[in-house]
Amino acid sequence: MTSPSLRRARFAELTPFEVYALCRLRVDVFVVEQECPYPELDGRDTEPATVHLWLESDGEVAATIRVLDDGATRAIGRVATAARFRGRGLAARLMHEGIALCQGPITLGAQAHLQGWYEQFGFRLSGPGYVEDGIPHVPMRREAS
């Protein structure tokens, strides 16, 4: 297995095969593995300012995130790692890359059990917890450094 290589693209730059692979990983993790039926395709992937980041190993998407433009802030979301690639720090690598793309504050909606993981990147709790699609979440924010 080769070392995963970093890929970055806006939606219009993605090939149909890349779109499929990114969506498949996200559905595998968020819908199937977490047993959470929800509308994965939310319309935000295709926004012109959205940046997709992923790590690819031997043609397979190992991990992915997306960076959204929310006006005054950026938002990082859809952080997912394929089961067989977990424990290698791939999501952390993508988080650092995503943060580097952002100027100004960054927000995210973290699954509550991952709050501590996001704190290592400078994110802090920014409001009360909430339940989204049956899973406890917390809003988090990272101020510009």
Domain carrying residue 24: 5-103
Tell me if 137 is assigned to some domain: no
pLDDT at 120: 97
Tell me if 57 is assigned to some domain: yes
Tell me if 58 is assigned to some domain: yes
Cα angle 95-142-129, degrees, rounded to a multiple of 5? 100
Tell me if 75 is assigned to some domain: yes
* DSSP structure string for 78-92: EEEE-GGGTTSSHHH
Q: What is the pTM of this model?
A: 0.93
Tell me if 111 is assigned to some domain: no
What CATH number is given to the structural domain containing 16? 3.40.630.30
Tell me if 14 is assigned to some domain: yes
pLDDT at 80: 96
Q: How many domains does the chain have?
A: 1
Residues 93-134: tens digit of each pLDDT: 999 999 999 999 999 999 999 999 999 999 999 999 999 988
Tell me if 127 is assigned to some domain: no
Tell me if 10 is assigned to some domain: yes
Phi and psi, residue 85, nearest 5°: -110, 0
Residues 1-58: tens digit of each pLDDT: 678 999 999 999 999 999 999 999 999 998 888 888 777 788 899 999 999 999 999 9
Cβ neighbours of residue 31 under 8 Å, at least 6 residues apart?
A: 37, 38, 40
